Structure 1
Amino acid sequence: MKMFRTMAAAVALLLSFCAGAQAQTTLRIGLAEDPDILDPSLARTYVGRIVFSAVCDKLFDIDDKLNIVPQLALSYDISTDGKEVTIKLRPNVKFHDGEPFDAEAAKFSLERHLNFPGSFRKPELASVDHVEVVDPLTIKLVLKSPFSPLIAQLTDRAGMMVAPKAAKEAGDKFGLHPVCAGPYKFVERVQQDRIVFEKFADYWNKDNIFIDRIIYLPIVDSTVRLANLKSGGLDLIERVLATDIKDVRADPKLELSTAVELGYQGITINIGKDKAKGPLSQSAKVRQALDLAIDREALNQVVFNGEFIPGNQWINPDHPYYQKAFPVRARDIEKAKALLKEAGIAGPVNVDFMVPKGPEFEAAAQVVQSMAAEAGFDMRIRVTELATSLKQAEAGEYQAYFLRWSGRIDPDGNSYIFQHANAPQNYSDWRNPEADKALEDARLVTNMAQRKSIYEKLTKIEMEDEPILYLFHYRILIAHTTRLEGYTPMPDGLVRVVGLKLK
């Protein structure tokens, strides 16, 4: 009898263990690239922002209608003169290491974004003169001048809060083991293989976290990524190819979510750096000729099955700040050739065309190459790994660069950092005092009609000088298994994990 009871107890223990094992859920997300460093001050890749959504909460977030909503902050108030922003913080929040999130911690994070060597958040928060602690759950941002995009900036990496103690101890190695206040905490990372997170038991919104573990798997080949989703090896994949839409929709085990992106795809032209010497850098007429050689609608049809949105500005045609006075121009080969002749170009214009590795990038680049050839351009495609291409863009080691920008909710986030003379991502090294003034003026006003009028001036200047040829806007395509419940497509393309369930 005693042996029977012992065996029964062992069986009960085993069944209990199995039930517990079955209850553990893991969400496997396929990424199109391996993110760069997981430090919100130093990171700059789109795919990294997808990962950050699970680990680093921000002061504010956006909803699917682009409304700004509370996250680690509960509310904000802007002074009458626009130079003080008071932010109330959420109580009872902890970082992954147990350190409390409070006003001192928020002040530390914002100052780190502003002052840490190499921080890409510094220009996003450049209007902030200093941060004051008002009380344990209130901070005040004192600005050098009014800055209308500030709260929008705090919905992204500039608003991500990091654990002060962990950040101080790790220094520039913080991204190897990020410690934030998000729903999941870091477990491990194997470069080019996987990034693993597990549920944070003390998360402030833990009642809406239903999945125990998330594994991000970088799979560059989109065909392999989709095959893994179909076979059950992945639960969700980002950046489905437009040519695979029918295939995904035909599979009863899969669902497709779509949203028009906030950003753009365009060709950045290196104008000012010595390494870019050539007709493109020296003449606006040559850049205009290249623009006129490209048929944006044909590019959309040939490469993307007509699923994307042709464009010619840093925001899409449905955006409230889009300048309708400057519509997408039709292709005009004869005018393009005439402009080259006016610029004194006799033979083919040879262009070093840097293109990030990826099937859609490369296919679109080949179509652009073919179209441009008819006008007299020899676009010499140089396929380059994404992170490497960004470094080469910074160094000016290219003439034309096929760059995708994932976009921000405020138009300033799509323009200033690329167009202003002193901005860190002004890869073209374009310097135009009139454009700089327009960019600066747009930051000082909150009235939409006034801002739109300022951006109209900027659009005219940019279209005449053409440091960037804006071509089209992606439709964000995310596919996931029907087992996944609660997913909402977002215009920034980031996967919010709060509320997700696996059946």
Structure 2
Amino acid sequence: YQIPYLVAGRTGAIASPKAGEDPKKLAISPVGAGPFVLTEFVAESHATFEKNPDYWDADNIHIDKLTLKPRLDPSTVVAAIQSGSVDVAVIPATQAQAAEAAGITVTIETALTASDASINLNTEPFTDPKVVEAFRYAFDRQAFVDVVTAGLGTVTHQPFPEGYLAFAPEVEELWDYDPAKAKQILADAGYEEGDLSLTITAQAGGDVAAELAQAQLAAIGVGSTIEIVPAGSTTWQDEVYVAKSPQLALDGTIGRESPVANLLATYGPEGIMNLSGPHATTEFLDALDAVRATPIDSPDYPSVLREAVKVGVTQSPTNYLYSSPWIFATSDRVGELNLLPSQVRWEGVTVEG
């Protein structure tokens, strides 16, 4: 019953069996039926796309050429748009007010984004269940909302934001921020202050969140160092999503049209964002099967789905922290953006000149 959701998103993209025969070539020269065709790719620099005249809705695509670049340093976004070197940019919430003050158009829209402290059960110190339990109480989620999202986000303990169908309110009551309790759990397990240390892995632009996490861990007696993965680098995909080597990574999901697909990506045994993979309990997989077997228009669907979310959250060591909206800055040349909760679309978007 999830098929309507699946075909509405990335999972439903039309694939080329012939192109799939050469995965290495496909990785840098994708083949698809979307609104744009890749014409140039320079690793760590940019990707250039041109309008696909064979796209089914080509008449609604008003951009002839699109160049995609790695995310800019937050401190340079406003200047880049003012200079005309960039027309559209994702900006951190902390830069939104400055961008608006500079006369730049800022668009804020609801997104399915949820950010987490992803924990790896396969590495120390998280091989000890008591450490995992202590970390449940270590993070001040409201502080992340206030500092990282400038108050524009919301607290969440799950890979869905409040207001979305899959959001399970009861999950929000499972663990409170309680550093004293976290310290006591560690002490009862035989850990003295300073015994534990780890590396926090974060993406470029995630410095503020990483430093906040570091301070909150210090408050429970856990030391940490921060490793920032450079912008545009493939290291994040290779080391976090494939090798799953970090102890703790500040990551997140931008959602999927199918909530089951999102739960599999975040908690499934082969989930790209399940840093503890292949960990996934039988109870969780059975709960997902129950969702799949329930018609999406059934009155039972919301409760069955939310039960699967609760099971997924409790069986995983990962701690979701906050959700945040889409925040885009655009130049005067760009018309209204087409932002869906889980993806950015270019149909109907116009650019002058």
TM-score by length of 1: 0.63
Q: Secondary structure at the match of 1:326?
A: helix
Encode CA deviations 1:12-38: one digit per residue, 9 max, x unaligned.
Answer: xxxxxxxxxxxxxxxxxxxxxxxxxxx
Aligned partner letter, 2:143: A
Q: How many pairs were matched up?
A: 346
Q: How much has 1:265 moved relative to structure 2?
A: 0.6
RMSD, aligned α-carbons: 2.5
Distance of aligned partners of 1:348 and 1:488 in 2 relative to their CA distance in 1, 3 Å threshold: same
Question: Any residues of structure 2 matched to 1:389-428 within 5 Å, and which?
Answer: 389-393=236-240, 394-423=242-271, 425-428=273-276
Q: 1:454 aligns with which of 296, 299, 304?
A: 304
- Measured after TM superposition, the shift of residue 173 of structure 1 is 0.7
Residue 266 of structure 1, CA deviation: 0.5
Counterparts of 1:388 and 1:414 in 2: how far apart (Å)?
Answer: 23
Shifted more, 341-350 versus 411-420: the winner is 341-350
Matched, 1:154 2:2: no
2: CA distance between counterparts of 1:463 and 1:187?
42
| Residue aligning to 1:256 | 106
Structure 1 runs of 4+ aligned residues shifted over 6 Å read none
CA contact (8 A) 1:372 1:379 kept: yes
Contact 2:152 2:325 in 1 (8 A): yes
Distance 1:488 1:349, change over 3 A: farther
**Residue identity opposite 1:417 in structure 2:** A
Verify the 8 A CA contact 2:159 2:266 in the aligned structure 1. no
Aligned in 2, Cα 1:177/1:424: closer, same or farther, shift over 3 Å?
A: closer
Secondary structure of the structure 1 residue equivalent to 2:196: strand
Secondary structure of 2:234's aligned partner: helix
SS in 1 for 2:133: helix
Q: Is structure 2 residue 199 aligned with structure 1 residue 356?
A: no
Cα pair 2:166 2:309 within 8 Å, conserved: no
Task: Provide the C-alpha distance between the structure 1 equivalents of 2:246 and 2:24, rounded to a whole number of angstroms.
Answer: 29
Unaligned runs of 5+ in 2: none
Q: Does the alignment pair 1:499 with 2:341?
A: no
The aligned residue for residue 378 of structure 1 is 223
Instruction: State the partner residue of 1:437.
Output: 286
Q: Offset at 1:171? A: 5.4
| Distance across 2 between alignment mates of 1:154 and 1:199 | 22
Match of 2:167 among 311, 318, 322: 322
Deviation by residue 1:209-233 (Cα, 9 ceiling, x = unmatched):
3232222222441222332111111
CA contact (8 A) 1:258 1:489 kept: no
- In the alignment, which residue of structure 2 is the partner of 1:212? 64
- Indicate whether 1:339 and 2:188 are aligned: no
Q: Which has the larger radius of gyration?
A: 1
Once the two structures are superposed, the pairs formed by residues 476-487 of structure 1 within 5 Å of their partners are 476-487=326-337
Work out whether residues 156 and 162 of structure 2, in 8 Å CA contact, stay in contact via their aligned partners in 1. yes
Residue in structure 2 matched with residue 244 of structure 1 by the alignment: 95
Is the contact between residue 220 and residue 358 of structure 1 (CA under 8 Å) also seen in structure 2?
A: no
CA-to-aligned-CA distance 1:43-96 (integer Å, 9 cap, x gap) = xxxxxxxxxxxxxxxxxxxxxxxxxxxxxxxxxxxxxxxxxxxxxxxxxxxxxx
SS at match of 2:105: strand
Counterpart in 2 of 1:42? none
Partner secondary structure for residue 392 of structure 1? helix
Aligned partner of 2:340 in structure 1 is 490
Question: What pairs with 1:155-174 in structure 2 (closer than 5 Å)?
Answer: 155-163=8-16, 167=19, 172-174=24-26
Distance, in Å, in 2 between the alignment partners of 1:149 and 1:263 is 20
> Are the equivalent residues in 1 in contact too, given 2:338–2:348 (CA < 8 A)?
no
SS of equivalent to 2:80 = helix
Q: Structure 2 counterpart of 1:341, which letter?
A: A
| Residue 388 (1) aligns with residue 235 (2) | yes
Q: Are the equivalent residues in 2 in contact too, given 1:353–1:398 (CA < 8 A)?
A: yes
Distance 1:260 1:349 in 2: 41
CA contact (8 A) 2:149 2:324 kept: no
1:470 to 308, 320, 325: 320
Q: Displacement of 1:457 after TM fit?
A: 3.9
Shift, 1:299, TM fit: 2.1
Q: Which has the higher contact order (CA 8 A, sep 6+)?
A: 2
Asked if the contact 1:267/1:401 (under 8 Å) is kept, the reply is yes
Q: Which amino acid aligns with 1:438?
A: A
Tell me the CA shift for residue 245 of structure 1.
0.8
Distance 2:127 2:237 in 1: 19
Cα distance change on mapping 1:269 and 1:351 into 2, 3 Å: farther
> TM-score scaled by structure 2?
0.87
